[in-house]
Structure 1
Amino acid sequence: MRKSRKRKEFFTICVLALISISILLYFHYTREKFNVPSNLPKVYITCQHNIRRNVYKDCVVEIDYDSTIGKIKIRGVRNYFFPKQEYRLQLSEQKSFLNMRTDDDWILFAMYNDFTGLRIKLCFDLWRSLEPTDATAILPKSEYVNLYINNEYKGLYLLAEKDDRKLFDLDDYQKNTKSSFIFKINSVFNFTNYNEDAWEQNYPDIEEYNLKDKILPDLTSFIEASSDLEFFDPKVGIYSKFDKKNLIDFFIFNHFIYHGDFWNRNIILLRNTSPSKYILIPWDFDASFGQYGELTNHPRSNTSKDINAHNYLFRRLINNRDFMWNSRVRWLELREELWTEDYIMNKLFNYYKDIKESLKISMTVYDLDKKIDRYVDYLIDWIPERLEYCDEYFLHY
C-alpha cells in the first residue's frame, strides 16, 4: 500500500512538473518566437476580455518589469479597422515609465501607416525641440517599445504620454467662457461656418459644461468675417486672441514636415484661463515627411496650396506680409541654431539604429511585405531636399 501511495505521489509530482515546464516553455515561445531584439523596452499586457474601442477592459500591464493593474481599450476610429491597432491604457495608480512623467493615462501608438517607424516619433520630438524658445511647443514625450498582448507579439509601438490638461498645465475649469479648455478638430473644418460636430471638447467634460459651443462660433465668425484692418489690429485683432509666436511656429513646423491631410483636421486648440491666449498644437502625424503608407509627396510640395484651400485662418496669415516676414526670421533662426541638417538626420539615424530589427519583425507580423529600406531611404533623401526647399521658400519673403 505504501509503495502504491508513493508511486501515485511521485506520478502526481511528475505530472505537475511537466505541466509547469510546458507552461513556462509556452510563455517563452509565444513571447520570443519572433526572436524580438532585447534592446527596446517590452510592454506585456494580459487581458481576459476582447479588447474593444468604446469600453475599457480590465488588464494587467507590465512595462520595463514594473507591473500594475489597469484598463485597456482600442484608441481612435480609423485605427479600429487596421490590423495593427492603437491602445489607451488607464492604470489603477500613477506610474512613471522610461523617464517619462508620472501618470495613470498612457497611449500606445501603432504607427501602422508609418512604414519607416520613424516619422511620427520625429514629429513629436521636433515640435518639442522648440519649447526652450516657445513655451507653447508642447507634445507628449514618447519611447519605442515592443508590445505583447496575452503573450502574443504585437509589434513595434510608441508608448507616449496623454495629450491632456496635465500635459498642457491648464488650470481647473470654470463654468464660464473664461475657462481653460482643450478642443480638437475631429472631422473636416476650415475655420469658416462653425459646425459643432466637427469639434470635440476634451476638457472640461462636455457633459459638465459645454464650452466649445460658446467660444468657437464667435472665434470662427471673427476669422471668417472680419476685415483685414480688424483682423490684424494690434489691440483687438488675431494676435490679441492667439499667441503670435505659436501661430508662426505652428505654420513653420507643419510647412516643413509637409503635414498632409492636416490643415482642416487633426488640430488641437487650447487655452489656459482667460486672459491667456489661444494656442494651436499639431496632432496625428501619419501623413508627414512626404509619406503616408505607400503614398509619397515630393519634397518640394507647396504647403501654401493646401492652406489656401483648407484653412481660412492660415490663408489670411500667409497672405500677410508681416506674418511671412516674421516666419522667415524665425525659420532662419531655427536653421542657424537648432534645425540643422545634422541635428535632424542624427536624430533619425539614432532612432533607426534602435528600431531597425524590431521594425522588420513587426512588419512580418502583419504580413506587410514592404521593403522597409525603400521607405527609409526615401525619408533620408527627402529631408535634406525639403530643408533646401524651405530655405528658398522663406528667403523669398
Structure 2
Amino acid sequence: MSKIRYILLLLCSLFFVQCLWNESELEPSYLPLDDSEYPYADLPRLVIETVDFQQIRNKETEVPAYLQIYGKDLPESDVKYLTIKGRGNSSFEMTKYGYKLEFENKESLFGMPRNRDWALIAVHCDKSFLRNYISYRLAEQLGDEYAPRLRFVELYLNREYLGLYQLTETVKVGKFRVDIPKNDSSFLFERTTTESDKASFYSSFQHLFEIHSPQNANEASLSLLKDHIFAFENFIQTNDGLNFDSLQKWIDVTDFARFLLIQEFAKNQDGNRRSTYLTWQKDSVLKMGPVWDFDLTYGVHFRKEIPPSGWYIRNYGWNRFLFKNKAYQKKVREFWEDHHSTFESVLDTIDILYPKLQKVANNEYKRWPVLKEHSIWPFSKGYDSYTESVDSLKSWIVQRIEWMDQNL
C-alpha cells in the first residue's frame, strides 16, 4: 500500500471513528478508540462497549456488549457480540477489577483455541504483571495436561482506558481445556471459600468444594463425588494411608507432586484454600489442577510480604497427611530434583518477557498510580520503577529455589 493511500485510509477511518463517538448504534460496525493519552504500547487493544453504555455493577448480571480488537493504528477484527460481567473474589472489590466475557459464538483469540468463555484478569496486585504467566507456563513445561493460555492486552471499556489486562482461558471442560468426559460421573470441581448457586458440599476436613462439571449436577452425581472425597479423607488419616501402593489407588502421585511443588515454589496464598481445581472420574484416581490464580504469590500478599523461606501449604489440609507417607515424600523430592532446571528456567522467562511490557507499564501506572503504594490494601510493597518490581520478583525466586533445595 502506498504511503498516500495509507494516509487517506487512516484519515477516513479517523473521521468515521469521530462520527461514532457522537452517535449511538444498536449494532455498530466499528468501535472508536482514542489513544491520544495512552499511546500504543506494542500490545493488542481490546475495545469493548456495552449496549447503551450500561455499567457493570456485579458478578451476576451479564451485560450485552460489543468487542473489537485493535492493532497499532486500525482494527484487526470485526465487531463481535458478547456479554460481560464482573469476576473475581477479593479482586472484584479492588478499584481495578476483572471481567468475564462470553461470546455469542466460539472465538479463537490471538491463536488460542476457539471457545465462548474468556476472562480478563486485572493483575492489580502484581506490579510485575508476570506471576500468572510464569506459573501457567511452568505447569505446562512440567507436563501438566492443561494450563490456561493467556495474552497481554490493553483494555478500553466504554471509551475509558482501563490499563493492562491478561486475556485468559477460563477453567472449564472442553477438548482444548480440561479434557474429561461430559457425563454425570466425571467431575471438574474446585476447593473454594465462596458459596454460589452451583452444587457444592463440605468435606470431613471442612473444605468447601464446588462442582463446575457436570453443570447443574444432580443429587446422584453430588453424592457420588461427596462420598468419594469423604472416603479419601478417611483413608489418608488411617495407617493404610502410609502404604504407598494403597495411596496410588486414590491419587495420581506425579500429578499431586507437581501441583504441590508449583504452589509451594510460588507460596501461593490461594493454593490451599480456594481457586484449587481437581478432577475425578469414577473408577479412576484424583488429579490436581489445572493451576489457577497466582496474583498473590512469589512474596506478594494482601497485608504483608511473604519471605522465600518456610513451607506454605505442605503442612495443611490433605498435604499434612500425605507427607506422613515416606514414599510420597520421596516422590515429591525426586520430582523437584528431576525438574530443577525447569523451575530455574522461570528466571529466563522473566528476562525474555518483561522488556516487552515496559511500554505498557508506563500506561498502566499513569492510569493506576500505585507502583510506589505499600500502605493501603491490597498493596504490601512499593517500587520506584517497573524494573525494580521485576528485579524484586527474580530475587525472591532465586532465594526460594535455594531454600527448597536445602529443605525438601
> For this structure pair, what is the TM-score category when the shorter chain's length is used for normalisation?
0.7 to 0.9
Pick from 291, 310, 314 the counterpart of residue 319 of structure 2. Answer: 314
- Following superposition, the deviation at residue 153 of structure 1 comes to 1.0
Instruction: Give the whole-Å Cα distance in 2 for the aligned partners of 1:359 and 1:299.
Output: 26
- AA aligned opposite 1:324: Q
Is contact 1:194–1:217 with CA below 8 Å preserved after alignment? Answer: no
Distance 2:354 2:55 in 1: 33
- Letter of the structure 2 residue corresponding to residue 327 of structure 1: V
CA distance in 2, matches of 1:192, 1:208: 18
Which deviates further from its counterpart, 151-160 or 205-214? 205-214
RMSD of aligned residue pairs (Cα, Å) = 2.8
Secondary structure, in 3 states, of the residue corresponding to 1:183? strand
Q: Look up the equivalent residue of 1:154 and give its one-letter code.
A: L
1:210 & 1:116 partners in 2: Cα distance?
Answer: 45
Q: Tell me the CA shift for residue 24 of structure 1.
A: 7.1
What is aligned with 1:249? 258
Contact 1:130/1:137 (CA < 8 Å) preserved in 2?
A: no
| Structure 2 unaligned regions, length at least 5 | 1-13, 23-29, 71-75, 196-201, 373-382
How many residue pairs match? The answer is 358
- Quote the residue 1:142 is aligned against: 150
The residue matched to 2:277 in structure 1 has which SS? strand
SS in 2 for 1:158: strand
| Higher Rg | 1
Paired with 2:120 and 2:247, the residues of 1 have a C-alpha distance of 36
Tell me which residue corresponds to 2:404.
390
Moved more, 379-388 or 273-282: 273-282
| Distance in 2 separating the partners of 1:98 and 1:85 | 22
Following the alignment from structure 1 to structure 2, what is the Cα–Cα distance between the partners of residues 294 and 123? 22
1: CA distance, partners of 2:154 / 2:338: 37
How many Å apart are 1:257 and its aligned residue?
1.3
Deviation, 1:274, is 2.5
How far apart, in 1, do the equivalents of 2:229 and 2:303 lie? 38
- Segments of 5+ residues of structure 1 without an aligned counterpart are 1-17
**Aligned pair in 2 of structure 1 residues 55, 329: CA closer, same or farther (>3 Å)?**
same
Report if aligned partners of 1:114, 1:292 keep a CA contact under 8 Å in 2: no
Indicate the residue corresponding to 1:42 in structure 2: 45
Q: CA deviation at 1:63?
A: 2.9
1:266 aligns with 2:275: yes
Please report how far the alpha carbon of residue 288 of structure 1 lies from its aligned counterpart in structure 2 after TM superposition. 0.9
Residue 320 of structure 1 and its aligned partner are, at CA, apart by 2.4
Query: Does the aligned pair in 2 maintain the 1:101–1:161 contact within 8 Å?
Result: no
Structure-1 separation of matches of 2:340 and 2:305: 25
Q: Report the Cα distance in structure 2 between the residues aligned to 1:77 and 1:234, rounded to whole angstroms.
A: 37
SS in 2 for 1:205: coil
**Partner secondary structure for residue 159 of structure 1:** strand
**What displacement does 1:265 show?**
2.5
Alignment of 1:1-397 (within 5 A): 23=19, 31-47=34-50, 48-51=53-56, 52-63=58-69, 65-66=76-77, 67-131=79-143, 136-166=144-174, 167-174=177-184, 179-187=185-193, 193=204, 195=206, 198-206=208-216, 208=218, 211-224=221-234, 227-233=237-243, 237-271=246-280, 273-281=281-289, 282-292=291-301, 295-303=304-312, 306-308=313-315, 310-311=316-317, 313-336=318-341, 338-339=342-343, 341=344, 343-370=345-372, 371=383, 372-394=386-408
Q: Any idea what the Cα deviations from partners look like across 1:294-332, whole Å, max 9, x if unmatched?
A: 7321112333xx432x31x11112232211211121111
Distance 1:80 1:369, change over 3 A: same
Aligned to 2:319, the other structure's residue is in SS state helix
Shift of 1:46: 1.1
Q: 1:288 to 1:57 in 2, by over 3 A?
A: same
Distance (whole Å) between structure 2 residues aligned to residue 154 and residue 381 of structure 1: 30
Q: Secondary structure at the match of 1:330?
A: helix
Q: Cα gap change, 1:361/1:354 in structure 2, threshold over 3 Å: closer, same or farther?
A: same
Tell me how far apart the structure 2 counterparts of residues 387 and 194 of structure 1 sit (CA, whole Å). Answer: 31
Give 1:130 shift. Answer: 1.4
* Whole-angstrom CA distance in 1 between matches of 2:220 and 2:125: 34
| Residue deviations 1:197-218 (CA, integer Å, cap 9, x gap) | x222111123555634432344
Q: Percent identity?
A: 21
Aligned to 1:5: none
Pick which of 370-379 and 276-285 moved more. 370-379
The C-alpha deviation readout for 1:78-97, integer Å capped at 9, x for no partner, is 23221111111111111111
User: 1: CA distance between counterparts of 2:219 and 2:155?
Assistant: 37
- Give the aligned residue type for 2:360: S
Alignment check: 8 A CA contact 1:183 1:203 kept? yes
> Which residue of 2 is the match for residue 7 of structure 1?
none
